[in-house]
Chain A
Amino acid sequence: MSDQTSSGPVVAADGRPLKQSLQRALRRQKLRALMLIAPLLIFILVAFIAPIGAMLFRSVENEVVSKILPRTVVALENWDYGSGEAPDEPVFAALGEDLLEAVQTKSHTILARRLNYEKSGMTSLIKRTGRKVKRMDMDAPLRPQFIEADQRWADPEVWGVIKAYSSPITAGYFLNAMDLRLTPDGIEKRPESDSVYVLLFKRTILLSALITFMTFLLGYPIAYLLSNLRMKTANMLMILVLLPFWTSLLVRTSAWKVLLQQQGVINDVLVWLGLVADDNRLELINNATGTVIAMTHILLPFMILPLYSVMKTIPPSYVRAAKSLGATDFTAFRRVYFPQSVPGIGAGAILVFILAIGYYITPALVGGTSGTFISNRIAYNISVSGNWGLAAALGALLLILVMALYVLYDKIVGIDNVKLG
């Protein structure tokens, strides 16, 4: 018999509704847990997420043009690229004022570099005009003076580039990374001779998948051996797996160079055995084959170790039980052992695939031209060409690709099916 009204909520001993009381207790627990991980969270946010976010933002940031040529950008809004002619005097007047200010702060060279990424020749055009703009007569019409300083100011293509890149946020870098181009007319495809990124993305994904598969083929038997042998032998073999893992990456890659070269050890042995003609030696390096071989070797421990740690937890009694029920060796393996090792395969495969996609040292050293990855181009754009916007766009695309593949993996295999031991 209860003396509560049927419409009132359940109350705890102190009169507060039970639901509230429960939430309060849970909240305190959650807060305590949050406080414990707060230092780590702040560290990751500051040292990891913030810098990467800032770098990724560069892939759309395009403040250079609108900051250095503010009046010109506004004046260009009325100009139509389709007219086929350079703009009129007001635009040139705006350009003159902007350039004069830019030259004083020497920021016109930054503008020159930025526009040169989109159209060759802009560096010399803007630098040369920058030297001459100080001597121009600001009260006389500027259009003829500019065109006299450099013929290219009469070319609508030049103005088209400036207009296309006027806005502070641009999709230009992303389009560039997908072998498209931003023109005043809209988006158009780049010519074949200029398109390399889509091909590289495809190649990176395919080769990384191949490498993952090869490490799985080679790593599964080794992990099986390691987990099923006697302790002593297993430990000995484990050292053989770990020692190369601890050796420097560059040393291992250089060793592969010595082995795989045309005049290298493998080819010499094959010629000596008579399997290969001397003037027709196998080309095992400076192409995709070299990359796959070297990277399979380097990433093998990343597949073996997760597999080993999962296999170690598989009780041998299951397989024995299956055999006692009449299964052949192969059926017992296929239906009892293998499904239990799938979480380890999942962990190893993800690890190897993501590492392989991001590698750039080994493909650079042994890949030649047909074995280089997208990461080599990202490195080029950061170190040599200085086009950080394009590098950020390529990096962002790679990140999106990996995340998409992760979602796909989740749908097919299930992310709960990943164990590291």
Chain B
Amino acid sequence: MKLTTTLMATSALIASSVAAGAEEMTIVSWGGAYQASQQKAYAEPYMALNPDVKIIWDESSGEAVAKLRAMAEAGNLTWDVVDVVAADAMRLCDEGLAMEIDPDTMLAPAPDGTPASEDFGDLLVSECFIPQIVYSTTVGYRTDLVGDTPPESICALFDTATYPGKRSLEKRPIGNMEWALICDGVADEDVYDLLATEEGQARAFAKLDTIKDDVIWWTAGADTPQLLADGEVVMGSTYNGRLFALIEEQKQPVAMLWDAQVFDLDGWIIPAGLPEDRKARALDFVYFATDTQRLADQAKYISYGPARKSSAPLVGKHAELGIDMAPHMPTDPANAKHTFLFNYDFWADYRDDLDAKFQAWLAK
């Protein structure tokens, strides 16, 4: 009797998993508020339109490059669409791990007929990369701990006389070295030429040395908002969407310092070598998820700018808070007076070397 029940239960389990019939697609993203916004803006409408598709989320975008390399070596691709930052997409494209995309045939045109390649414009930084959002690494500060004069320039980070207290900066050279050089008097256009030289690098490290004892170094986007809320730091850098959540949703006494924000792109890649049916499904999803309306929809849930020019006028109000999202976009003219675009070519060349030097400098 017991044996029969066990046998029946096991076979029922197996049968149910086989008879599910749903087509499954694995999408990889970063987790947290960003992934939640993608789920609401892209995945749920897509599953409503295609009831036989089930989307499974994986939160491994932080290790996407290493994992895709391992999957390619093992010959077993378990991911269908992967969200990566542009620098990682370029690296994956270089190694042949990402599929090449032709924007005009594989991505939707704008509602007025402009082909996708023009609608995305310069943001198509790699042949395998489909941009989704423009986000920036920018600084937030505690309004109640900065005294009477709120900071207006990025050099407030280095001004411990006027703004005493700890700061938090990202634990990598990208962004910090550029800020150090600008605040040491270098013009924007000369920053990367100078950083390519030993003297320029030494100069940036010397400037960072002036605040080194007051810096808490973060590796996760949630670190700085937590440190600001606790009052551990007076000002700190993080992704602008996290600061938006901190200020508007959690109502903390924090304000944004948009000066010298460093823009970066985040978007999709499709792993190379997918079987035909999964590739077709992945391309179908990407076509839907990166059309003009969808990119504008994502801005309803998180304050990252859509990558398409045609989406900008469609950005409306936050879905839950009801506030206008446009002034909170990093691309809004009021916020974007002085910006840096992540210099992909420079950092592709110098990242390994500068990171080793940065870690050596940190360890001393």
Contact = CB atoms under 8 A, between A and B. Distances in A.
B19 interface: no
Interface residues of B, number: 35
Nearest to A364: B219
A382 interface: yes
Contacts of B232: 261-263
Query: Which of A196, A368, A372, A380 has the most chain B CB atoms inside 10 A of its CB?
Result: A196
B151 to A, nearest CB: 21
A46 to B, nearest CB: 14
A266 to B, nearest CB: 14
A271 to B, nearest CB: 13
Given A109-B95, A261-B230, A386-B91, A121 B363 contact: no
A200 B363 contact: yes
A359 to B, nearest CB: 16
A113 interface: yes
Interface in B6-34: none
A263 B352 contact: no
Interface residues of A, number: 39
A106 B96 contact: yes
A200 B363 CA distance: 8
Nearest to B100: A106
A127 to B, nearest CB: 8
A110 interface: yes
Contact of A124 (B205, B217, B348): B348
Interface in A98-156: 106-107, 109-110, 112-113, 116-117, 120-124, 127
Contacts of B279: none
Interface string B339-364: 00000010011111111110111110
Interface string B60-96: 0011011001000000000000000000000100111
Interface in A359-387: 364, 368-370, 372, 377, 380, 382-387
B221 interface: no
Contacts of B359: 196, 377, 380
B66 A386 contact: yes
Nearest to B201: A193
A217 interface: no
Contacts, number: 83
Contacts of A121: 196, 349-350
Nearest to B69: A386
Contacts of A112: 94
A110 B345 CA distance: 16
B39 to A, nearest CB: 23
Contacts of B69: 386
A286 interface: yes
Interface in A230-272: 261-264
Nearest to A385: B352
A150 to B, nearest CB: 13
B230 A368 contact: no
A195 interface: yes
A124 B348 CA distance: 8
A116 B363 contact: no
Given A364-B219, A369-B362, A113 B353 contact: no
A196 B95 contact: no
Interface string B163-193: 0001000000000000000000000000000
Contacts of A185: none
Nearest to A369: B362
Nearest to A125: B349
Interface string A377-411: 10010111111000000000000000000000000
B95 A120 contact: no
B197 to A, nearest CB: 11
A194 interface: yes
Contacts of A123: 348-349
Contacts of A124: 345, 348-349
B231 interface: yes
A195 B360 contact: yes
A262 B359 CA distance: 24
Contacts of A127: 94
Contact of B217 (A192, A194, A263, A369): A369
A116 B94 CA distance: 13
Contact of A368 (B205, B217, B355, B360): B217
B91 A194 contact: no
B360 A387 contact: no
B36 interface: no
A282 to B, nearest CB: 13
Query: Which of B205, B216, B356 has the most chain A CB atoms inside 10 A of its CB?
Result: B356
A34 interface: no
A378 to B, nearest CB: 12
B352 A387 contact: yes
A286 B236 CA distance: 15
Interface in B311-364: 345, 348-357, 359-363
Nearest to B350: A120
Given A124-B348, A261-B232, A383-B66, A193 B95 contact: no
Given A120-B353, A383-B63, A196 B363 contact: yes
A72 to B, nearest CB: 20
A380 B355 CA distance: 10
A385 B355 contact: yes
A123 B91 CA distance: 11
A218 interface: no
Contact of A263 (B230, B345, B362): B230
Given A368-B217, A386-B66, 8 more contacts: A109-B95, A116-B348, A120-B196, A121-B349, A193-B361, A199-B363, A377-B359, A387-B352
19 contacts: A113-B95, A116-B348, A116-B349, A116-B352, A120-B354, A124-B345, A192-B360, A193-B202, A193-B357, A193-B361, A194-B357, A261-B230, A263-B231, A372-B363, A383-B63, A383-B65, A384-B65, A386-B65, A386-B91
Interface of A: 106-107, 109-110, 112-113, 116-117, 120-124, 127, 192-196, 199-200, 261-264, 286, 364, 368-370, 372, 377, 380, 382-387
Q: Which 6 pairs across A and B sit closest by C-beta, in order of nearness?
A: A109-B94, A196-B360, A120-B353, A369-B362, A383-B63, A120-B350
